Amino acid sequence: MVSAEFWGDIAKEFYWKTPCPGPFLRYNFDVTKGKIFIEWMKGASTNICYNVLDRNVHEKKLGDKVAFYWEGNEPGETTQITYHELLVQVCQFSNVLRKQGIQKGDRVAIYMPMIPELVVAMLACARIGALHSIVFAGFSSESLCERILDSSCSLLITTDAFYRGEKLVNLKELADEALQKCQEKDFPVRCCIVVKHLGRAELGMGDSPSQSPPIKRSCPDVQISWNQGIDLWWHELMQEAGDECEPEWCDAEDPLFILYTSGSTGKPKGVVHTVGGYMLYVATTFKYVFDFHAEDVFWCTADIGWITGHSYVTYGPLANGATSVLFEGIPTYPDVNRLWSIVDKYKVTKFYTAPTAIRLLMKFGDEPVTKHSRASLQVLGTVGEPINPEAWLWYHQVVGAQRCPIVDTFWQTETGGHMLTPLPGATPMKPGSAVFKQPWPGIMRTVYGNHERFETTYFKKFPGYYVTGDGCRRDQDGYYWITGRIDDMLNVSGHLLSTAEVESALVEHEAVAEAAVVGHPHPVKGECLYCFVTLCDGHTFSPKLTEELKKQIREKIGPIATPDYIQNAPGLPKTRSGKIMRRVLRKIAQNDHDLGDTSTVADPSVISHLFSHRCLTIQ
C-alpha cells in the first residue's frame, strides 16, 4: 500500500486554505471491526475548482493556455476556451447558482451533452461547495427523475437540444418530463437553467463562449416548451453575473459529487466522492498513467456523464494544466474518419477510449486510420471493459503504428481513478492485462443516503477488503487479468447495467409476467442483452410486442440498455426453491449444450423448449 507519506508529498503540490491538522489517513476497511470509513486529510480545507483554475491562471501563468478545444457533432463546429476564459465563466456561473439560492452541500442535477457549459456547470458547483450529480444525456427522463429524487436535487441544468450523429435529441423535453414526474412524486424542483445550444447561432454570440464565428446549421431548430417560473436561460443569467467569485473553502472530506452507477438490486447507487482525496488521486493518475507533459494535447473520448469523463476530461487534465479535446460527437459521424481526423487536426498526443469504440472502428478496416498521419500520438489508453487481444493488437499495430504504449486502465466509478494499469514506457505490455497500481485517496466514501448498502456491496464479501465485483487472474509474471464481473452486472459497450433493472423495466409491461436477462457475447458491444420473457395469459408474442418491449426499456432506462434479443419463454429454468438459473439461460442463449449440473432444475423440459426456440439473429 502506498503510504500516507507518499500522498502527503503529493498534497504539497496543491493549495490548502488550512493544512491537515491530524492524521493524514484514517480508515476502517474491516466490517467485522465496525463501521467502514475512509478519511484522507480530514480537517484540511481547500477548493478543487480553485486548484484546477485559479492557481493555473494566477500562479502558474497558464491563463492564455487552451483548456479545451471543443469539437462539435458537426465537423466545422468548433471553439476553444482558455484557462482564463474558463475561470471567468465558472465564476459567473457560480454567482448565478448562489443567486438562485444554491449553498454548500446542496445537490444540483446536470443533464447536458458534451459542450463547454457542462464543464463550467460542474466546476461552478465545485466552487461553491454544491454537489453536482451529472446524469448522462443518453439516459431517459425516468432515470433522470429517479436520480433527482434519490439525492433531492434543488436545481437542474440542461440544454435545449443536441445532435448525436444524425439523431436529434430534444433534451429539454426529456428534462421537462423528468421534472413533471418529480412533481407528481411531491418533489417540485424549483429551477431549471437551460443552455441554448442548438439555438445558439440565433443569439448572435457565436457558437461558443469565446465568440468564434457563428455556427451554420442546416437543421431546423427544435421547438422547446417553456415553464414560466421554473425555466431560466443560461445566457441571460450569465449576462448579469459578476465574474469574480470567492470559492467556498471545503473540508477535504466534504462531498464533491454524486455519480450514479448501476447496482445489482436494480436501483442505481449514488457513489459519493470527496474533495481532497479525489483531487489528489485524479491529478496523480492522470499525470503518471498518461505520462503528462505540458505540451500534450490530451483526448479522452468518454462522455462527462460517466466517471471517465469526470476524472479524465474535467478534473485530472485541468489539475495538471493540460490542454484537452472536448468532443460532442460520435466516432462514426459523418463517417469513420472522424476520430483520426480530429487527432491530426489538434495534434493529439495522448488518446483514451473504450474497447467498444475500437471494435466498432476495426470493422471498417485499416484504411480510414492509416490514411491519417497520427504522427502526434504517443500514448493510447483503454477503459471500460476487458479488451480482447484482437482489438488490443489492432489498436497497437494500426492506430498506434506499433510505437505507442497502451495503458489498459482497470477502474470503476467507485474508485474515482485508475486502479490497475501498466505505466507507459515502464511496463512491458501484454495484450489485455493490467498491472496493479496501488491504493488510493480517490475511493468513494459512501452510497448517498445509504451507508449500509456501501458496506454490504463492497466490504462484506471479504472482510478487510474492498471488492470490485470483478474476477481477476494473476499470471506467472505477476500480471493481473480481469476476467469480467462475478455478480449480476452486465457490461454493454463499457457501461454497467444490472440484470435486475432491465428485468423490472420488462415486467412493467402489461404483457410480461416474468423476465430474465443475461449477457451474451457481441462483436462490438462486448456484451449485449439477451432477454427471456414469460407472457401473461391472453398475450401473444409478436414482432410488435418485441418492439414495444424495447421501447419500454429505452424509456425506463435509456437507449444503451436496448436488448439485442428477446425470446418468448413459456417457462424459465428454476430451482425447486424458485430461483431463476441464469447460468443455464446464458448457455441456452449461446446454444451451448454443455449445461453442467442441471439436477436442481424443477422442470427440465423447459430447457429443451428454450433451446429449440432460440433467437438466431439480432432483432
With CB under 6 A, what is the number of residues at the site for ligand PRX? 21
User: With contact defined as beta carbons under 8 Å apart, do 431 and 471 qualify?
Assistant: no
- 144 versus 383: smaller Cβ distance to ligand PRX: 383
User: Residue 437 — left, alpha, or beta (φ > 0 → left; ψ -120 to 50 → alpha)?
Assistant: alpha
Angstrom CA distances, 299 to 141, 340, 352, 424, stand at: 29, 11, 6, 16
Question: Is residue 482 a contact residue for ligand PRX (CB under 6 A)?
Answer: yes
User: With contact defined as beta carbons under 8 Å apart, do 41 and 277 qualify?
Assistant: yes
Q: Give the footprint of ligand PRX on residues 358-397 (CB under 6 A).
A: 383-386
The 324-353 site mask, x for binding ligand PRX (CB under 6 A), equals ------------------------------
Q: Is residue 437 classed as helix, strand or coil in its secondary structure?
A: coil
- Least Cβ distance, residue 269 to ligand PRX (angstroms): 10
Annotate 37-67 with DSSP letters as a single string. EEEESTT-EE-HHIIIIIIIIIIS--TTSEE
- Least Cβ distance, residue 386 to ligand PRX (angstroms): 4
- 209 versus 386: smaller Cβ distance to ligand PRX: 386
E-strand ranges in 523-569 read 526-535, 565-568
Please name the helix (run of DSSP H) or strand (run of DSSP E) that holds residue 174, with its range, or none: helix 171-184
Q: Residue 561 — φ and ψ, nearest 5°?
A: -95, 10
Figure out which of the listed residues 36, 189, 245, 496 binds ligand PRX, where binding follows CB under 6 A: 496
Question: Is residue 410 a contact residue for ligand PRX (CB under 6 A)?
Answer: yes
- 496 versus 606: smaller Cβ distance to ligand PRX: 496
Question: Is residue 307 a contact residue for ligand PRX (CB under 6 A)?
Answer: yes
Question: Is residue 129 a contact residue for ligand PRX (CB under 6 A)?
Answer: no
- 113 versus 263: smaller Cβ distance to ligand PRX: 263
- 324 versus 353: smaller Cβ distance to ligand PRX: 353
Residue 98, classified by CB atoms within 10 Å of its CB into exposed (0-12), middle (13-18) or buried (19+), is middle
Given the C-alpha cell 472482510, which residue does it identify?
Answer: 463
Stretch that binds ligand PRX, among 99-107, 120-128, 404-412, 539-547 (CB under 6 A): 404-412
- Least Cβ distance, residue 354 to ligand PRX (angstroms): 8
Question: Is residue 525 a contact residue for ligand PRX (CB under 6 A)?
Answer: no
Encoded amino acid at 551, one letter:
K
Q: Which of 565, 590, 392, 551 is nearest to 492 (CA)?
A: 565
Instruction: Name the residue number minimizing CB distance to ligand PRX.
Output: 413
Figure out which of the listed residues 273, 485, 550, 574 binds ligand PRX, where binding follows CB under 6 A: 485
Question: Is residue 261 a contact residue for ligand PRX (CB under 6 A)?
Answer: yes
Alpha-carbon 501 to chain mean position: 18
Stretch that binds ligand PRX, among 60-68, 217-225, 402-410, 579-587 (CB under 6 A): 402-410
Rounded-to-integer distance, Cα 531 and Cα 147, Å: 25
Q: Is residue 169 classed as helix, strand or coil in its secondary structure?
A: strand
- 113 versus 305: smaller Cβ distance to ligand PRX: 305
Q: Is residue 153 classed as helix, strand or coil in its secondary structure?
A: coil
Q: Give the footprint of ligand PRX on residues 454-473 (CB under 6 A).
A: 468-470
- Least Cβ distance, residue 311 to ligand PRX (angstroms): 8
- 65 versus 453: smaller Cβ distance to ligand PRX: 453
Rounded-to-integer distance, Cα 610 and Cα 607, Å: 5
Q: Is residue 10 classed as helix, strand or coil in its secondary structure?
A: helix
- Least Cβ distance, residue 110 to ligand PRX (angstroms): 18
Question: Is residue 409 a contact residue for ligand PRX (CB under 6 A)?
Answer: yes
Figure out which of the listed residues 78, 80, 412, 446 binds ligand PRX, where binding follows CB under 6 A: 412
- 232 versus 434: smaller Cβ distance to ligand PRX: 434
For residue 524, the 8-state DSSP code is T
Question: Is residue 308 a contact residue for ligand PRX (CB under 6 A)?
Answer: yes
Q: Which of 185, 186, 190, 168 is nearest to 109 (CA)?
A: 190
Rounded-to-integer distance, Cα 162 and Cα 150, Å: 27
- Least Cβ distance, residue 411 to ligand PRX (angstroms): 5
Residues binding ligand PRX (CB under 6 A): 261, 307-308, 383-386, 408-413, 434, 468-470, 482, 485, 491, 496
